[in-house]
Amino acid sequence: MPFRILSLDGGGVRGIIAAIMLAAIEKQINQPLNKYFDLIAGTSTGSLLAAAIATGRSSQEMIDLYRNEGLRIFPYQSRWTWQRFPLLFKHGISAPKFSQQGLVQVLQETFGDTKFFGINSPRLIIISYDTIEREVIVFKSWRQDQAFGDIPLWEACLCSASAPTYFPAHRLEKYVLGMVKGGSRETLNLDDNASSKEQVYQNRKIEIISGKGAGQVRTIISYRGYHREAQILPQWEEIPDETSAYKITTICSAIDGGVAANNPSSCAVAEALRLGYNANDIFMLSLGTGDRTRIISHEEAYNWGLIQWAQPLIGVLFDGSSNVYEYISRQILSKKVLRLQFKLDRDLTGKKLSDDLDNATRENLDNLMEATYAYLEQPKVKSAIQDFLHLSG
- 2-29 pLDDT, tens digit per residue, is 999 999 999 999 999 999 999 999 999 9
Mean pLDDT of 326-335: 89
What does each C-alpha distance from 388 to 133, 154, 280, 323, 327 come to in angstroms? 39, 31, 14, 21, 18
SS3 156: helix
pLDDT tens string 205-240: 999 999 999 999 999 999 999 999 999 999 999 999
Contact status, residue 194 vs residue 176, Cβ threshold 8 Å: yes
Confidence of residue 149 (pLDDT cuts 50, 70, 90): confident
Q: What is the C-alpha to C-alpha distance for residues 297 and 52, in angstroms, rounded to an integer?
A: 39
What percent of the chain stands above pLDDT 70? 95
User: Which residues make Cβ contacts (< 8 Å) with residue 301, sequence separation at least 6?
Assistant: none
What does each C-alpha distance from 199 to 164, 184, 223, 344 come to in angstroms? 24, 19, 5, 45
Strands, DSSP E only, in the chain? 3-8, 39-43, 123-130, 135-140, 170-183, 187-190, 205-210, 217-224, 229-233, 245-256, 282-287, 337-340
Contact status, residue 66 vs residue 13, Cβ threshold 8 Å: yes
Confidence of residue 307 (pLDDT cuts 50, 70, 90): low
The reported pLDDT for the residue numbered 334 is 87
SS3 349: coil
Q: How many CB atoms lie within 10 A of CB 326?
A: 20
pLDDT tens string 375-387: 999 999 999 999 9
What pTM was computed for the model? 0.92
Burial 165-200, CB ≥16 within 10 A → b, else e: bbbbbbebebebebbbbebeebbbbbeeebbeeeeb
What does each C-alpha distance from 369 to 99, 293, 372, 385 come to in angstroms? 27, 18, 5, 19
SS3 335: helix
Largest CA-CA distance found in the chain, in angstroms, rounded: 75
Mean pLDDT of the chain: 92
The reported pLDDT for the residue numbered 135 is 93
